[in-house]
Amino acid sequence: MLSLARTAFSDSGRENHRPENVGYLSPYVKIDTDMLPVSNLLKYLKFGFGGVTDEICYDLREGKITQNEVCYDLAGDTLTKEKATRLIEQYDGKCSDEYIKIFCDNVGISTDEFWAHVDNHVVNKKLFRKDPKTGTRVPKFKVGVGLKE
């Protein structure tokens, strides 16, 4: 039987929202599921971009041009390429251990099994290397560098 954790929500979105735990800037993104942070982590490790890149691109295409408009609770000036790059580098692909544990409990595997599968079948070795000291996956790329605009 599946045991789905329920995240608390309020009028201001996901309670205790922290971009470093969910990989999204907005507290309103996909508040109906705790699986999105894991999905974004896997997308990031496979393709090199995650939810924050999506979020910033969507908002910029809608004509939102200030950091406050794009980043909601992160007040600031005009969203420059440098600020967007910094936000993407800081939060893209982030997923707290809490969400990974929820996912693993729901599918009936251990977190060790999860990471073994991710390392063997998901991580794009052309884009990421594994740090031998920390075991974390480190990008081989720099956000915004080498793109043809």
* pLDDT, the chain, mean: 80
Delimit the domains of the chain by residue range. 18-138
Which percentage of the chain shows pLDDT scores above 70? 72
Q: Write down the pLDDT at residue 149.
A: 58
The model's pLDDT over 87-135, given as tens digits with 9 standing for 90+, comes to 899 999 999 999 899 899 988 999 999 999 999 999 999 999 999 999 8
Q: Write down the pLDDT at residue 1.
A: 29
Q: Where are the beta strands (DSSP E) in the chain?
A: 9-10, 13-14, 128-130, 137-139
Looking at residue 140, what DSSP letter applies? S
Q: How far apart are CA 28 and CA 73, in angstroms?
A: 11
Cβ-based neighbours of 20, under 8 Å, separated by 6 or more: 90, 91, 94, 96
Q: Side chain identity at 103, as an amino acid letter?
A: F
Question: Quick one: which H or E segment has residue 81?
Answer: helix 81-91
Neighbours of 88 (CB within 10 A): 21
| pLDDT category of residue 76 using cuts at 50, 70 and 90 | low
Residue 14 has pLDDT above 90, yes or no: no
